[in-house]
Amino acid sequence: MPWSSGVLRSVAVEHMNLLQPATILDIGAGAGTWQTWWRFGRWTAVEVFEPYIARFGLAERYAEIIVGDATVCDLGGPYDIAILGDVIEHVTDPFALVQRARQVARIVMVQAPVGYWPQGPEEGNPHECHLVTIEADQLRSWPGLDAMYVLDGIALAFYTGLLP
């Protein structure tokens, strides 16, 4: 699905209101869900599935759009925060993607379904397949964890200091 779960929306918005980031990197922007939840700051989208850009009007909502695979493309930066909203389950090495985001952002926010959530291609997008199962303990074990919340099978985590 090209949008993120709203289960922990109020918690995410509360953190963003406290952080007041000026520059935001939205990795796996999809429908642009996160950008609609708070509209302050300069937003850059990374989207691997180019048809979503026109379908969801991303060019009108983001200052910049990077079309490419976030595991290998140039992410630009630096950013105050990188958001990986319901995206790490779509890559074979989730921690490597979080580390890449940390290289260009001071804070990394990760939202992911925890446990087994099978999903195949959706909306004509083969990148919507869930390639790995994410567990809460896995997210807790990654270095730099500042805060984590789990509700109704969705985890929301904030990381800093992932790299020396």
Tell me the domain boundaries of the chain: 9-159
Interstrand relation of 64-67 and 79-85 (parallel, antiparallel or unpaired): unpaired
CATH domain 9-159 topology: Rossmann fold (3.40.50)
pLDDT digits (tens, 9 = 90+) for 28-85: 999 999 999 888 999 999 999 999 999 999 999 999 999 999 999 999 999 999 999 9
pLDDT digits (tens, 9 = 90+) for 104-117: 999 999 999 998 75
pLDDT digits (tens, 9 = 90+) for 66-76: 999 999 999 99
Laid out side by side, the sheet with 154-159 consists of 64-67, 42-47, 23-27, 79-85, 105-113, 154-159, 145-151
**CA dist 136 → 20, 44, 160 (Å):** 27, 28, 18
